[in-house]
């Protein structure tokens, strides 16, 4: 893994702002589709990791942080897994989403630690750790009597807030660079 250089603050800030906007809109749309699986909610569930793939590719091109390759692969597998799991029901979807949240959270934590000299990465490290815990809770929720996918919307919204906070902190670092 490489250490980020100060000029990376500007492109990361833009990427984090886009990720914030996407997460908030996506969470709202998923919350509005209800707790059952339907074509819209399944499409949204698959779209989220696809967007994560695209964001990781943009980040990888800017930063050359090779750990992001793991995130690209994991998120692509998650999108496929969610599409397949949707045919089995909400518990299967929550298990796939939970496993993805755990692994991608660990990757986010590792990337944040590697970029800590850049500034603005504490929110990313916290988000990575919280993602691991949230992923475990999604797996546990899959065993509930009446599991719902709407809890995933809250997870995405909180993640979006972490991206916003990091973007704001990176804005300060970019001005100082």
2, part of any domain: no
* Gap between the Cα atoms of 160 and 158, Å rounded: 5
Q: Which structural domain range is residue 136 located in?
A: 21-176
Please report, for residues 28, 117, 146, 168, 170, the alpha-carbon distance to residue 75 in angstroms, rounded to integers and kept in the order given. 21, 26, 26, 26, 25
pLDDT for position 6: 59
Per-residue pLDDT of the chain (177 residues; tens, 9 = 90+): 444 445 778 888 999 999 999 999 999 999 999 778 999 999 999 999 999 999 999 999 888 888 899 999 999 999 999 999 999 999 999 999 999 999 999 999 999 999 888 877 899 999 999 999 999 999 999 999 989 999 999 999 999 999 999 999 887 765 665
25, part of any domain: yes
110, part of any domain: yes
Looking at the 3D structure of the chain, how many domains does it have?
A: 1
12, part of any domain: no
9, part of any domain: no
37, part of any domain: yes
Q: Any residues with CB less than 8 A from the CB of 17 and at least 6 apart, and which?
A: 163, 164, 167
pLDDT for position 65: 82
């Amino acid at each position: 893994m490489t250490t980020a250089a100060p000029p990376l603050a500007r492109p990361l800030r833009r990427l984090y702002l886009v990720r914030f906007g996407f997460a908030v809109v996506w969470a709202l749309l998923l919350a509005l589709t209800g707790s059952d699986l339907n074509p819209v909610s399944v499409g949204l569930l698959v779209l989220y990791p696809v967007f994560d793939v695209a964001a990781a590719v943009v980040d990888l091109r800017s930063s050359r942080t090779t750990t992001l390759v793991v995130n690209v692969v994991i998120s692509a597998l998650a999108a496929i897994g969610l599409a397949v799991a949707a045919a089995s029901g909400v518990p299967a979807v929550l298990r796939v989403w939970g496993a993805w949240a755990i692994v991608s959270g660990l990757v986010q934590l590792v990337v944040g630690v590697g970029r800590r000299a850049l500034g603005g990465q504490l929110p990313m490290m916290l988000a990575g750790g919280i993602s691991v815990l949230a992923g475990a809770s999604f797996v546990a929720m899959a065993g509930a009597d009446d599991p719902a996918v709407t809890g995933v919307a809250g997870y995405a919204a909180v993640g979006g807030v972490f991206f916003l906070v990091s973007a704001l902190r990176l804005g300060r670092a970019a001005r100082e660079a």
